[in-house]
Structure 1
Amino acid sequence: MMNNPYLKEYNCVRKNKGIVLFFVAIVVFVSVNSVYSAEINILSLKQEAEHGSIRAQEQLGRYYYYGKYINKDYQQAAKWFLKAAEQGDPDAQYSLGILYSRGHGVSQDYKKMFNWYTKAASKGMVEAQSDLGVAYEYGKGTTRNYKQAEYWYLKAAEKNYSAAQLNLGLIYLDGKVGAPNYSLAKEWFMHAANKNEPMAEFNLGRMYYLGIGVEKDDRKAVEWLQKGAEHGSMEAKNSLAFFYFNGNGGLPIDKDKAIHLLQQSAMQGWGEAQYNLGMLYEEGTDNLPKNYLKAYAWYSVASVNGKEEAKKNREHIGSQLTKGQMEEARVLSDEYIYKYHWQHD
């Protein structure tokens, strides 16, 4: 009998197809089995939670909050966090405070936020301690009290929590608990910057650029601003753009790079960068052609984000636009405000 060369190839293909189908079946089985296991896990978790398990109640609250293994439901998250919080669980107490802060699943209520943060912080929860410091610093849910803010920031900062270290540095820099203490400000910024906290890196750059508590040094300023920009600080990107525009701090003049940094910062919501872009579009450069519509739009969103000077500039631009151009400018402004309004707590 003659050997058929095509038969061998066909058999290999058939075998390979069988292998592929076999593995597809395994994947489908594992996927279905994982979903089934997750459903079983949720049912089991709910039963434990209903019987008073603090761990299960807190975990179920997190699952509902993040939509993990179950449909996202803030009201259900609040329900289960409350059950665990009332039994004294600090994680649930802090989570419930966040819900009241943001109005997720409950009516926004800073006083209740403050109360739950206080309970969690008193049990040593570092995130709650740091956020309680924020509440005291800005008077959210309580009377503003900088000494209490310092107290709670320090508790969290000493546990190596970078957000608290940054905030502690800022209140020393701004002199909110007495005269400005630049030495302590720098010390706490350095602690936070060593953990790649972008705002601490930005503030160190600002200190070196302005010579606040340190000898003025543009190269060190650039070094810290570059780190802050790399780690996402919109403030650092805006400031670093200035150095590229002017070729300071050992950097070459690179206006394309400067504009790119400004655009990144502006799109993150930083009003200063939005204002700067507005000026560039208003005046026009070799790297960025004059465009009154974009200038008007950037001034508009900068104004919304707290840059007061932008209002006057926007009105000046508006006086030079035709009725049709003004309509286009307003549409573009609405788009920019929707996209680039800085959303923060």
Structure 2
Amino acid sequence: SGPAPGSLDALRKAAASGDSKAEYALAKRYADGVGVRRDDAMAVEYLRKSAAQGYAPAETGLGSCYAHGHGVPLHLAEAVKWYRKAAAQGDALAEYSVGVAYANGGGAPMDMNVALKWWRMAAEKGRMEAENALGQFYYHGKFPGDTADINYTLASQWLLKAAHQGSLPAMATLGYMYQYGVGGPPDWLQALKWNRLAAERGDAGAQDDLGQMYENGNAGLPHDNVQAYKWFLLSSRQGNKDGQHDIMEYQMHHILPPSEIAKAQTLADQFRPLPAPATGDDSKTAEH
């Protein structure tokens, strides 16, 4: 009898006979170190074999290797070349990635309108990163100070789609929008829901916002300065300016006795962020 289906041996055998899906599956194993020692160069070798046969996920994967310098020298134009091949086959992650290249001017001329076209294609297939990218675009505009493209209704529609799939930047931006009434009246319960989800996954902005909700007793939360200080501390430790400012306020005004500060510090030290979903996201993260 041959090797068990799905086993490493079975994959190697299928890959040796030129099976593009097996080549791709082996590449992923080498990239992630699953059942084999992690080896970016081997991952690239198998991605190349699979991509040479036109297998779209491998083309996208190879593009990603060039975009991040994994197993090959960083080469943005080469990354875009492979993303385009996969995008031509309708691969949503590749469509999103071509959009990122145009948005950042990395490997393609900077052109936000072209970026939006690609993101829309990917978002309409339910690609989380593209939904977030569109939401962030309608929230921030094309560039700082640009208000022409800001549309908070469209922003929240796309951000909600992305957040429901687990996009951390989308969760954090939604929490902020609901808390501060961006594009509509404040909604404390929605603010609490999204801020907590993002804060528990380690988003520094959401951690500060959640701390403020505890400080003010919003959304039916108890006024809890220990919890507030804990979240401010976690936010400030990531270099968040708002978190650092809030910590300073607490210390200047002696809001908490030293024993309570110690309690909050212990809680912050014990904090472990929940895992965020694995994504291929290199678009901009949430900013307020």
Report what 2:59 is aligned to: 93
Letter in 1 for 2:45: K
Among candidates 111, 123, 128, match of residue 162 of structure 1: 128
CA distance in 1, matches of 2:64, 2:199: 28
Bigger relative contact order, structure 1 or 2 (CA pairs below 8 A, ≥6 apart): 2
**Distance of 2:41 and 2:159 partners within structure 1:** 38
Matched, 1:148 2:114: yes
Aligned amino acid, residue 27 of structure 2:
G
Stretch moving more, 169-178 or 158-167: 169-178
Structure 1: give runs of 5+ residues left out of the alignment: 1-35, 292-343
Correspondence for 1:69: 35
State the alpha-carbon separation in 1 of the partners of residues 248 and 66 from structure 2: 40
Partner of 1:139: 105
Instruction: Indicate the residue corresponding to 2:240 in structure 1.
Output: 271
**Structure 2 contact 196–210 (Cα < 8 Å) conserved:** yes
Cα displacement string for residues 80-125 of structure 1 (whole angstroms, at most 9, x for unaligned residues): 1011112211111111122122211111122222222222122111
Q: Which moved more, 1:43-52 or 1:74-83?
A: 43-52
Question: Greater helix percent: which structure?
Answer: 1
1:173 aligns with 2:142: no
Q: Does structure 2 retain, via aligned residues, the 8 Å contact 1:96–1:116?
A: yes
TM superposition shift of 1:266: 4.4
Tell me: CA distance 1:200–1:37, structure 2 relative to 1, closer, same or farther (3 Å): same
Distance 1:251 1:44 in 2: 55
Do 1:117 and 1:128's aligned partners in 2 also have CA atoms closer than 8 Å?
A: yes
| Equivalence for 2:82 | 116
Give a deviation string over 1:177-224, Cα, whole Å, max 9, x none.
Answer: 943111111111222233343332322222233332212344543343
Q: Distance in 2 between matches of 1:99 and 1:287?
A: 51
1:235 aligns with 2:201: no
TM superposition shift of 1:270: 5.2
Query: Do the aligned partners of 2:171 and 2:198 also contact (CA within 8 Å) in 1?
Result: yes
If you compute each CA radius of gyration, which structure gives the higher value, 1 or 2? 1
Q: Which AA in structure 2 matches 1:286?
A: L
Query: 1:63 is matched by which residue type in structure 2?
Result: R
For these two proteins, the number of residue pairs brought into alignment is 255
Aligned-pair identity in percent equals: 32
Query: Among residues 256, 261, 285, which one is paired with 1:286 in the alignment?
Result: 256
The verdict on how the C-alpha distance between 1:286 and 1:193 changes in structure 2, with shifts beyond 3 A counting, is same
How far apart are residue 37 of structure 1 and its match?
Answer: 5.6
> CA 1:209–1:70 in structure 2 vs 1: closer, same or farther (change >3 Å)?
closer
Q: Indicate conservation of the 8 Å contact 1:165/1:189, yes or no.
A: yes
Q: 2:22: which partner in 1?
A: 56
Aligned partners of 2:232 and 2:244 also within 8 Å: no
Counterpart CA distance in 2 for 1:195 and 1:55 is 26
Q: Distance in 2 between matches of 1:275 and 1:183?
A: 31
Which residue number corresponds to residue 190 of structure 1?
160
* Conservation of the 8 A alpha-carbon contact between 2:48 and 2:58: yes
> Residues 108-149 of structure 1: CA distance to partner in whole angstroms, max 9, x if unpaired?
122222222222122111222222222222222222211122
For the 8 Å contact 1:198–1:229, the answer to whether it is kept is: no
Q: Quick check: 1:198–1:233 contact (8 Å CA) kept in 2?
A: yes
Alpha-carbon distance between aligned partners in 2 of 1:90 and 1:100, rounded to the nearest angstrom:
16
* Structure 1 position 230, deviation (Å): 4.2
CA distance in 2, matches of 1:288, 1:143: 55
